[in-house]
Amino acid sequence: MATNSKLGKHPELKVIEGAKIRKTKPYSDIDLNNWRAYDHIETDSLWLFDSRAKGKGHKFEYHGNYIPQIAEQLFTRYTKPDDVVLDLFLGSGTSAIEAKNMGRRAVGVEIKPELTDYVKTKFTKEELKNIELINGDSSSVEVRKDIEKSLKKFGQQKAQFAVLHPPYADIIKFSELDNDLSNCNSVDLFLDKFKDVAQNSYDYLEKDRYAALIIGDKYTKGELIPLSFMCMQKMNEVGFKTKSIIVKNIEGNETGKGKANNLWRYRALAGGFYIFKHEYVMIFQKK
């Protein structure tokens, strides 16, 4: 790939094989001179997916895992091949699997040791050269050394994209572990710990790069707790600028159908509230 000296003032413009001019941003491989070719890439703030994408290593086997289409959209918009994606709540490894599928690398942190071990089995020895799995507490100071070590293995000091898909406070209890964010006994404590994770993600993200927070709200004793916006505020407090708030349907995450749905419908009608059918994908930039 040669850079045309006439385009010196515009480093995002590159000439490939002396003919086709590609126009890309430093954080994405999308060719802006060929932008009509990206029909499948979302640019609207409402994401409606019919169902969860299956195959290519992805399974709906872990309650609370996000649909692979989210990773595909985000990695296409905000990463280039070989970039390192840092996922602070790795869970069943959706980000790492999609990073591998898309030719990116990944560092994932997960608090449950059995889960980190299991995710490891999803990759071959060769693939694990590009995937680093850390068993640890993402809100801790101790995890920073592990993240540094993993990035160093990739010859990097910082990651190029960060994913934060925390427990939605106590909605799903993920483990009995004390530092598991789903075990915080108050929303305030959850937010304090989330802020520590946000800080770690900020510190290990390259400047000008992007981060995504995937989160939903919850009800407690008949009151809506806007966890999403509260967490967004924590992201801002550690220095991230909010770029977009995307509303995404939760089709594909649901397991309860039929009778359970009817019961919720009755409760909603009787309780004066609406059943959550959406969650958020919030986009931030480290400026």
Binding residues for ligand SAM (CB under 6 A) = 62, 64-66, 89, 91-92, 94, 109-112, 137-139, 165-167, 174-175, 179-182
Please report how close the Cβ of residue 175 comes to ligand SAM at its closest, in angstroms: 6
C-beta of 77 vs 122, nearer to ligand SAM: 122
C-beta of 29 vs 180, nearer to ligand SAM: 180
C-beta of 64 vs 103, nearer to ligand SAM: 64
Please report how close the Cβ of residue 151 comes to ligand SAM at its closest, in angstroms: 17
CA-based max dimension of the chain: 68
C-beta of 30 vs 204, nearer to ligand SAM: 204
| Cα 234 from Cα 191, distance rounded (Å) | 7
User: Given the DSSP bridges, would you call strands 218-220 and 46-47 parallel, antiparallel or unpaired?
Assistant: unpaired
Please report how close the Cβ of residue 155 comes to ligand SAM at its closest, in angstroms: 25
Please report how close the Cβ of residue 165 comes to ligand SAM at its closest, in angstroms: 4
Helix ranges (H only) for 141-239 are: 143-153, 187-203, 227-237
Give Cα 139 distance to the centre of its chain.
16
C-beta of 73 vs 166, nearer to ligand SAM: 166
Please report how close the Cβ of residue 92 comes to ligand SAM at its closest, in angstroms: 4
Three-state SS letters, the chain: CECCHHHCCCCCEEEECCCEEEECCCCCCCCHHHHHHCCCCCCCCEECCCCCCCECCECCCCCCCCCHHHHHHHHHHHCCCCCEEEECCCCCCHHHHHHHHCCCEEEEEECCHHHHHHHHCCCCCCHHHCEEEEECCCCCCCHHHHHHHHHHHCCCCCEEEEEECCCCCCCCCCCCCCCCHHHCCCHHHHHHHHHHHHHHHHHCEEEEEEEEEEECCEEECCEEECHHHHHHHHHHHCCCEEEEEEEEECCCCCCCCCHHHHHHHHHHHHHCCCCCCEEEEEEEECC
Residue nearest to ligand SAM (CB): 91
Please report how close the Cβ of residue 185 comes to ligand SAM at its closest, in angstroms: 14
Please report how close the Cβ of residue 227 comes to ligand SAM at its closest, in angstroms: 12
C-beta of 38 vs 276, nearer to ligand SAM: 276
Please report how close the Cβ of residue 110 comes to ligand SAM at its closest, in angstroms: 5
C-beta of 109 vs 198, nearer to ligand SAM: 109
C-beta of 63 vs 277, nearer to ligand SAM: 63
